[in-house]
Chain A
Amino acid sequence: MMRFILPLVIFLALAAFLFKGLSLDPREVPSPLIDKPAPAFTLPQLHNPKKQFSPQDMKGKVWMLNVWASWCGSCKDEHPILMDIAQQKIVPVYGLNYKDKREDGLATLRNSGDPYTLVIFDADGKVGFDYGVYGVPETYIIDKQGVIRDKIIGAVTRQNLRERILPLIEELKKQ
């Protein structure tokens, strides 16, 4: 009996690993910045270049930092979801307009709606680099102490929002 069970068990284990491998995305590199303080910076705002923004201003609040650009295709996919988050006032969403032209970024927000509490303008992508951005969109969830608690690489989906983002935000708000 053992003669049949053992190979079967080995086969099933191998199949399980391979099956898991099918759904892993090699492009999704886990960020080493999770559970580390959000890197400090000071950048001008998109709408008003004279005004500055710095993540230190957000101490004591749970917030989302969404990296986007007018040239980014999948940013359009997550746009309606961000609009929902903003309308339901779940959490303040701050935009980081990454390697964009100011006019283009502003035009995108004018045309399709502005889900952001405030948009930060990162023209040369230096702040994006410090945050480990390599594909846009990327979304960071930052807690009251200013620590990055999660990072979503690629567009936020409804499923992502329900299963991963909302539970985490609820938990962080209680802290």
Chain B
Amino acid sequence: MKHLLLAMMLLLPVSVYAGEARDLADDPVMERRMINLAEEVRCLVCQSETVASSRSDWSNDVRQIMREKMQAGATDQEIKDILVERFGKSVLFDPPVDGETIPLWIAPFVMLLLGVAALFYQLRKRRQTVPETQLSDEAQKRAAALLNDQE
């Protein structure tokens, strides 16, 4: 583990250097802002990776477009809107809660409620199907007689 960590740390400066060196020199503040925004954007050609960390061609393009839009004065929200307009809400790692995505948010709670309801229903039904047996006086006497007999 220690060795792995060391190896990774040794590689770190290399990958940083190999990255966006030219653009960092351009405007480090904006580059920082761009990377922060890119952390929230899904790389569509690689699964479960952010545009910030992906080296795919598509992610490179998206980062470049983010820089251009930022230079042109767009806010982060405007850039997100541009991406959602073209690639859909799933391009954001934290998609907005709205009419389309609300089922995903409430479905687990609905299922939990259904489960609890089913449990109570079953418990009540069981209580009803196993009624306490009421003996008539005659049956009580006979039972007593039988029991006494055995003593």
Q: With a CB–CB cut-off of 8 A, which chain B residues contact A135?
A: 44-45, 58
Q: Mark B86-109, 1 if CB is under 8 A from A, else 0.
A: 111111000000000000000000
CB distance from B90 to the nearest CB of A (A): 6
B121-140 residues with Cβ-Cβ distance < 8 A to A are none
B24 interfacial by beta-carbon distance below 8 Å:
no
B61: A residues at CB distance < 8 A = 125, 129
Contact B87 A134 (CB under 8 A): yes
User: A125-B61, A129-B61, A129-B65 are known contacts. Are A32 and B84 too (CB-CB below 8 A)?
Assistant: yes
**A89, CB-defined interface residue at 8 Å:** no
Task: Determine whether A167 belongs to the interface, using a CB cutoff of 8 Å to chain B.
Answer: no
Distance between A90 CB and nearest chain B CB, rounded to angstroms: 28
Question: Nearest Cβ in chain B — how far from A117, in angstroms?
Answer: 25
Q: Which of B57, B86, B90 contacts A131 (CB 8 A)?
A: B86
Q: Which residue of A lies closest to B65 (CB)?
A: A129
Q: How large is the interface on A (under 10, 10 to 19, 20 to 34, 35 or more residues)?
A: 10 to 19
Asked whether, in the complex, the Cβ of B86 is within 8 Å of the Cβ of A29, the reply is no
Would you give the shortest CB distance from A36 to chain B, in whole angstroms?
Answer: 9
Instruction: Tell me, yes or no, whether B47 is within 8 Å of chain A by CB.
Output: yes
Q: Decide if B44 touches A134 in the complex (CB within 8 Å).
A: yes
Is B149 close to A, CB under 8 A? no
The residue in B45, B87, B88 that gathers the most chain A C-beta atoms within 10 A of its C-beta is B87
CA distance A125 to B61 in the complex (A): 8
Residues 29-66 (chain B) with a chain A CB within 8 angstroms: 44-45, 47, 57-58, 61, 65
A52 sits at the interface (CB 8 A): no
Residues of A within 8 A of B89 (CB): 32
Instruction: Tell whether A31 is near chain B: CB-to-CB under 8 Å.
Output: yes
Flag whether A21 is at the interface (Cβ < 8 A): no
Question: 9 more A-B contacts (CB under 8 A) besides A27-B45, A135-B58?
Answer: A26-B47, A31-B87, A32-B84, A32-B85, A32-B86, A32-B89, A125-B61, A131-B86, A134-B45
